[in-house]
A and B are shown apart, each in its own frame.
Chain A
Amino acid sequence: MASGTDQKAIFEDVARVLSTHSHTQAPIRPETRIGADLEIDSVEIFDIVMELEDLYNISLPVEAASDIDTVQDLVSKIGQLANVR
């Protein structure tokens, strides 16, 4: 959870949630592209974001969600909002 969590722990949460939505066998790494590599579309990404928002008790603005391309983008954004390094 948010307090005392570092980027690595966030990555693990993100990877776990993404793996249940992925449509491909592509491995989930920081540089993996959510749309192009995992074939997750923009509607599904919103559901994924909502799951992660609940987990970290944050709200990710729609404007920020549209900037997310890779797994690392999502991890960094969550890190910023949850105030962890």
Chain B
Amino acid sequence: MTSRRPTFSSEILSPTRALVDGREIILAGTNNYLGLTFSEAVKSAAIDAIARQGTATTGSRLANGTFREHIDLEEDLKTFFRAKSAVVFTTGYQANLAAISTLAGRGDHLLIDADSHACIYDGCRLSEAETIRFRHNSPEDLAKRLARLPDEGARLVVVEGLYSMLGDVAPLDEFVAVAHEHGAYLYVDEAHSVGCYGDRGRGLAEELGVLDKIDFLSGTFSKSFASIGGFCVSRHPGLDLMRLVSRPYLFTASGSPSNVAAARAAMGEMMNGPDLSRELMERAHQLHAGLTGAGFTPASPPGPIIAIPRPDELTAVREWNRLLEAGIYVNLAVPPATPHAKSLLRLSVSAAHSEDEINTIISAFRELT
């Protein structure tokens, strides 16, 4: 079998379907956890925003690029996350870049999980603070490293909620305890976990009962929120200072009216529509059980991201191609983008997947063995 180079482009049909080379396939690697990109409420909010406010803001948040709706979105986020302050950014990448680099400066320390996303590493690079890595998901290792630090300077611990490659979740309750015991602030990137965990998708911190203790929570509108953009919220009132000094906030144009309207409408659906996070988790359990039954060993317990480690890169590429030929798109993740140099077939589940679609995905995996 020839192995097609793993690039992929498609003509999208629905949250779970696309045409590739004229053939309809099932999408199982989109991060479209709630399937809201085709929600009537979200689409009409975006269309209406374009009709009323045009296609772009053509400016920075600090200049002409703050429309009333950007501020309304920040107010919605404060309500959703029970926060004191909220700032909206043009992407989630920029939210982390901006917040991490401004919260910790020269003489401070950033302590980051070793498996952090690239934008957390980039935020640290942009900051003048010293960056120290601790072992992935290990509050014990974090405690050891916090204890070694000098007394001077602030300490900011940065972790994620749901890790995007292996689909494992952070023990946020333990991280809160360790960080605060050592006089550190805790920053949690919930890019993947908002929408999936917690009451009405408020995230993993909410699910674990520690939302009110998280000092800074960041996220993206590019996954469950069915849009583009990012945010940082805080239980502390001072976040607004960032608007004056943070380069990734200042030196870029703000999110377009349709992006902002879609994110607000998606949050409205999360709060008041059918409980999509519950539907998502039901499908996740179905897929996890099916793949396990087919002889595969997912890297983590059932959740919206199901990663299947493969023995080597060549096997992963070959299987990715065979799945695509069978009409299933999954993500191919190979080093160096993956932790511990693993090669993975990565699936993400959507509340929009039907039971039948999940069964079709499982059958295609069964055919691989």
The CA of A43 and the CA of B149, in the complex, are separated in Å by 24
Q: Which of A42, A46, A63 contacts B130 (CB 8 A)?
A: A63
The CA of A80 and the CA of B335, in the complex, are separated in Å by 32
CB of B341 within 8 A of CB of A43, answer yes
Q: With an 8 A cutoff between CB atoms, is A83 at the interface?
A: no
CB of B341 within 8 A of CB of A62, answer no
CB of A58 within 8 A of CB of B130, answer no
Q: With an 8 A cutoff between CB atoms, is B145 at the interface?
A: yes
Residues 18 to 74 of chain A near chain B (Cβ within 8 Å): 41-44, 46, 50, 57-63
Q: Which of A41, A44, A46 contacts B133 (CB 8 A)?
A: A46
A residues less than 8 Å from B145 (CB atoms): 59
Most buried by A among B121, B130, B131, B133: B133
B residues less than 8 Å from A57 (CB atoms): 148
Tell me how many residues of A have a C-beta within 8 Å of chain B.
13
In the complex, what residue of chain A is closest to B145 when comparing beta carbons? A59
CB of B340 within 8 A of CB of A61, answer no
A residues less than 8 Å from B121 (CB atoms): 62
Q: Which of B131, B132, B148, B340 contacts A43 (CB 8 A)?
A: B340
In the complex, what residue of chain A is closest to B112 when comparing beta carbons? A62
In the complex, what residue of chain A is closest to B335 when comparing beta carbons? A43
In the complex, what residue of chain B is closest to A61 when comparing beta carbons? B130
Given contacts A43-B341, A46-B114, A46-B133, contact A59 B336 (CB under 8 A): no
CB of A50 within 8 A of CB of B135, answer yes
Q: With an 8 A cutoff between CB atoms, is B362 at the interface?
A: no
CB of A59 within 8 A of CB of B135, answer no
The CA of A66 and the CA of B238, in the complex, are separated in Å by 33
A residues less than 8 Å from B132 (CB atoms): 59-62
B residues less than 8 Å from A46 (CB atoms): 114, 133
Residues 327 to 359 of chain B near chain A (Cβ within 8 Å): 335-336, 340-341
Given contacts A42-B336, A43-B341, A46-B114, contact A61 B135 (CB under 8 A): no
CB of B124 within 8 A of CB of A43, answer no
The CA of A77 and the CA of B310, in the complex, are separated in Å by 37
Residues 143 to 157 of chain B near chain A (Cβ within 8 Å): 145, 148-149
The CA of A58 and the CA of B147, in the complex, are separated in Å by 10
Sorted nearest first, the 10 A-B pairs with minimum C-beta distance are A62-B131, A61-B130, A59-B132, A59-B145, A59-B148, A43-B341, A61-B131, A61-B132, A62-B133, A43-B336
20 contacts between A and B (CB under 8 A): A41-B336, A41-B341, A43-B335, A43-B336, A43-B340, A43-B341, A44-B341, A46-B114, A50-B135, A57-B148, A58-B148, A59-B132, A60-B132, A61-B131, A61-B132, A62-B121, A62-B124, A62-B131, A62-B133, A63-B130
